[in-house]
Chains A and B, each alone.
Chain A
Amino acid sequence: MILEGETLIPANRRIVWKALNDPEMLRACIPGCKSLDRQSDTDFTASVRAAIGPISATFGAKITLSEIEPDRGYTISGEGKGGAAGFARGKARVDLEDETGGTRLRYNADVNVGGKLAQVGSRLIQGTAKKLSEEFFGCLSEKLSGASAPDKAAPPSAPAVAPGRWLVWGALAIVVVIVLGWWIAG
């Protein structure tokens, strides 16, 4: 299934970049996110607790970056196992552009799901992924508009990350949202 979307993040690149370098902020904005860790330059793991009705489980995802074009975009492959809830495999292309009023982020994801997610969640996937993406971007935008106030511009605990790394985190967050959106739909 193909999922597409875009969003305008209402902050200039410097502020967005700094904020997105803060794993705490991403953790706060990805619905149900418990952890989000970098294993290497291109490998990440994420863990999300989700509960929908009687289904409740911790989902673990492994995410790999490839086709990295600095400052322009990435391809992200994600694979996650949700135990009894099933699994999801996704691949997303993420592209960034400067735009008046902020930064335009476009994503195009191809995701396959299996197990319970596919069996009972197929009809809900598109809608749930959309809803979760909106939640994520809404949260991010909200935090960034707050952050654009002069004194809050620099997150105090941001780790020292090479320039351009924010994209990794941002894109990663999108894939996690999309991929886990399917689980939660299950």
Chain B
Amino acid sequence: MKAIEDFTLIGKTVLRREDSYLMRGKAQFLDDLPEPKGLIHLAFVLSPYACADILSVDASAAKALPGVIDVLTGKDLVGDIKTFAPVIEIEGYRDVRRPVVAVDRVNFVGEYVAVILAESPYVAQDALDLVEVDYDPLPAVAGIEEAEAAGAPVIHSHLGDNHIFRAAFETEDFDARFAEGDLVLEEEFRNGKTAGGMIEPRGCMAWPDPVATNFTLWTPTQIPHIVRTAIADHLDIPESVLRVVAPAVGGGFGTKAHVFPDELIVVALARRYGRAVKWVQDRRESLLTNMHARGHILHIKVSVKQDGTLCGVYLNLKTNCGAYPNHPYSPTLEATGCARMLPGPYRFQTYRYDVSSLITNTCPTGAKRGTGQPSAFLAIEGMMDRIGRRLGIDPAEVRRRNTVRPEEFPYVNVVGVRYDTGSYLPSLERGLEMIGYDAFRAAQPKDRLVNGKYRGIGICNYTEVSGTGAPGWRVRGFAKMPGFDSSRVVVEPDGKITVYVSQADAGQGHYTTFAQIAADRLGVACEDVTVVEGDTSKTPYGTGTFASRGSVVGGGTVIRCSEKVGVKIRRIAGYMLDADPERLVLKDGRVADPEDAGRSLSLREVAETAYSMNNLGLPQGEEHGLEATDYYDPPMVTMANGTHVVQVAVDPEDGRVEIERYAVVHDCGRVINPRIVEGQVHGATVQGIGEALMEEIVYDADGQHLNANLLDYLMPTAMDVPELELDHIETPSIDTVGGIKGAAEGGLTGAVPAIANAVGDALSGLGVNITRVPLRPSSVFEQIRRACTEKEGRA
């Protein structure tokens, strides 16, 4: 067996095999799949009200339209699909279920009210205009504060109020220890609701067999196995009759890591009508009804010593759940995630948090790249700067004094999460060095005004939860989240290798990286490995691709599984070569005996023996075939880390924030493919720039969604992106297989606080206090104007 350091392909940039068919326009995304005969196209009637009773639905005109097959309301589907809800078992969580199509009441703008079945998508759209729904509008609540106010309308009456989740945590003697500090600072931070914003809108297509007892669901999902379990459960069908396939997926970012009502509906209708059923959303629906994210209010108090070290932290976090809990995570994902991730790279051991999630009349919120982390670090990193400003200590130095030191690893943080390895201080120092931090600070005037613009620098030192295993999910109440992922590695009779992985790629390059891993472990060329995933009928069960788990858990299982097959290859080859299997080496597609230089076998020759395609026979007790299956449940979590250092210029004339320099240091443990990791860091960082400076889903006080289009929901373009200066530190995990840590989310987590802090630093001379993202020009301009007016007033 090769030692873990013996990697030949792991750690090398291998260009992606996916690219060719994607660039030739040959990839098959959901809407590119060939359409079966007799396909029914769906369109959903969406609620225009945030809260209303449905008095009547008159579909007679729609049904009369040629090409319309049927129009169904929520009532019509009650017998087909159970009310929809995630399974969450944690104290403080209260069950809320939803009909997949509203029955008596709508609770957010965009909620499905009726479904049209038509022979073509154009006719389905025509029919939408002909369905007359009579609503009785009711008062709506869109914001957290409105939802928890006394006398607020209660959205789900069985709850009694609008809280769906509350949790609290407190370390021993919290009050006494918190009181040991020399001063207490507090602040309230907020972020807007945002969207995953993948360029491919969602859609799905269910395909029944001729007797409508077996179904295939094509859906661009990051979690095909979880989708299958949820559908089987809610439709009361055996999991064995349902196959879920993720075709090419046009970006996921967590949004596509949910189970959606429409996925249940297409399968139910395929069963009901015995025909294939397809639905594809447009951009408006995508921004209106796919999961939103963030929308948090974080009230944080820190107790500090005069030297800037933290004595204790208190967090009160409120999250906006939207009208219903998302499936499968519920709002506890963001709430507990944020609170538990807030300690980050810091050493404090006194912590208390109170979190609550509130039901509002808005689209449900759920997972999006970074989950609670961009919020958590907006708060804790924002406080690091405030501590520095208050005590006259450089903010970088404040961080140094609080960061877990290299000799303290493995370190158990205040909420009990183990940090096995990390480069927290080296990463911070490297980031500062790259940006020329000390020189910038030395040259920075007190009023921060240089050539007509306010210039500042911001830091975010972060940890990144990745590769969460079953224990990590259980502790947060996710009773049905498997946590493990799995693979099956097959050496085919011709010696070529097929790797089946329980993951689902949405652009991460799995078809290349998992091939690299298997090829590395089995001593073959990448080209000899085919990767299959995103299909529940082909791969063993698993959790899927989200929360920076693909490389850790998917990669880990492929390493383990390949090595398992390697053992059998050596056994059979040892028998064929009459050599000790232990000493055989897999290299260059052959099995060689290093103690007998001339003797080796091709993998094909070994496979032919395994598959009984020669006259050699197998050693006694050996089974035919040459494959292995592996289920890998990683530790609770593994922590990646990194540092973002950003230099900005704020134009007081228009409030525009220009990013002048941007340094990223990134440590995701063992790197499988550096180019792909770099791509993940770029992409996540730019999404973070979006969250920091422009992206926000806007609801008015009545719960009307005001920007369900890409002209008004602003995402970064090529003109909004600075050149990123990127450096890697590689500190392999000692807990995960292969030393791998996750890489996909840290960019976003680092960017939002770093940019907010940079703007805060730039405007600190004016007394502007940056507490809310996005920092759109209008809001920055307004804050500058207000600060200047106040200053003049005082003068």
Q: Which residues of A contact B (CB under 8 A)?
A: 54, 56-57, 83-87, 112-116, 118-120, 122-123
Q: Which 5 A-B pairs have the closest CB atoms?
A: A115-B48, A119-B708, A118-B704, A86-B48, A84-B128
Checking A54, A57, A114 against B48 with a beta-carbon cut-off of 8 angstroms, the contacting residue is A114
A-chain residues with CB within 8 Å of residue B130 when the two chains form the complex: 83
Q: When the two chains form their complex, are residues A120 and B48 in contact, meaning their CB atoms are under 8 A apart?
A: no
Q: Which residues of B contact A (CB under 8 A)?
A: 45-50, 109, 125, 128-133, 284, 287-288, 700, 702, 704-709, 711-712
14 more contacts with CB within 8 A, not counting A86-B48, A118-B706, are: A54-B125, A83-B132, A84-B45, A87-B48, A114-B702, A115-B46, A115-B47, A115-B49, A116-B48, A119-B109, A119-B706, A119-B708, A119-B709, A122-B707
B-chain residues with CB within 8 Å of residue A120 when the two chains form the complex: 284, 708-709
Closest Cβ of chain A to B197, distance in Å, is 16
Distance A84 CA – B49 CA, assembled complex (angstroms): 11
Distance A120 CA – B133 CA, assembled complex (angstroms): 21
Distance A116 CA – B282 CA, assembled complex (angstroms): 12
Q: When the two chains form their complex, are residues A84 and B711 in contact, meaning their CB atoms are under 8 A apart?
A: no
B-chain residues with CB within 8 Å of residue A84 when the two chains form the complex: 45-46, 128-129, 131
Which chain B residue shows the least CB distance to A56? Answer: B129
Closest Cβ of chain B to A118, distance in Å, is 4
* Most-contacted residue by chain B among A87, A118, A119, A122 (CB, 10 A): A119
Q: List 8 contacting pairs A-B, 8 Å CB cutoff, sorted by A.
A: A56-B129, A83-B130, A84-B45, A84-B46, A114-B48, A115-B47, A119-B287, A122-B706
B-chain residues with CB within 8 Å of residue A87 when the two chains form the complex: 48-49
B-chain residues with CB within 8 Å of residue A116 when the two chains form the complex: 48, 284
Q: Is the interface of B mostly helix, strand, loop or mixed?
A: loop
A-chain residues with CB within 8 Å of residue B705 when the two chains form the complex: 118-119
Q: When the two chains form their complex, are residues A112 and B702 in contact, meaning their CB atoms are under 8 A apart?
A: yes
Closest Cβ of chain B to A122, distance in Å, is 5
Q: When the two chains form their complex, are residues B712 and A123 in contact, meaning their CB atoms are under 8 A apart?
A: yes
Q: When the two chains form their complex, are residues B284 and A123 in contact, meaning their CB atoms are under 8 A apart?
A: no
A-chain residues with CB within 8 Å of residue B287 when the two chains form the complex: 119
Checking A54, A83, A85, A113 against B704 with a beta-carbon cut-off of 8 angstroms, the contacting residue is A113
Closest Cβ of chain A to B102, distance in Å, is 15
Distance A123 CA – B712 CA, assembled complex (angstroms): 8
A-chain residues with CB within 8 Å of residue B284 when the two chains form the complex: 116, 119-120
Distance A123 CA – B706 CA, assembled complex (angstroms): 9
Which chain A residue shows the least CB distance to B699? Answer: A118
Which chain B residue shows the least CB distance to A1? Answer: B700
Q: When the two chains form their complex, are residues A119 and B702 in contact, meaning their CB atoms are under 8 A apart?
A: no
B-chain residues with CB within 8 Å of residue A86 when the two chains form the complex: 48
Q: When the two chains form their complex, are residues B712 and A122 in contact, meaning their CB atoms are under 8 A apart?
A: yes
Closest Cβ of chain A to B751, distance in Å, is 27
A-chain residues with CB within 8 Å of residue B128 when the two chains form the complex: 84
Checking B133, B704, B708, B711 against A114 with a beta-carbon cut-off of 8 angstroms, the contacting residue is B704
B-chain residues with CB within 8 Å of residue A56 when the two chains form the complex: 129
A-chain residues with CB within 8 Å of residue B132 when the two chains form the complex: 83
Which chain B residue shows the least CB distance to A121? Answer: B709
Distance A86 CA – B139 CA, assembled complex (angstroms): 17
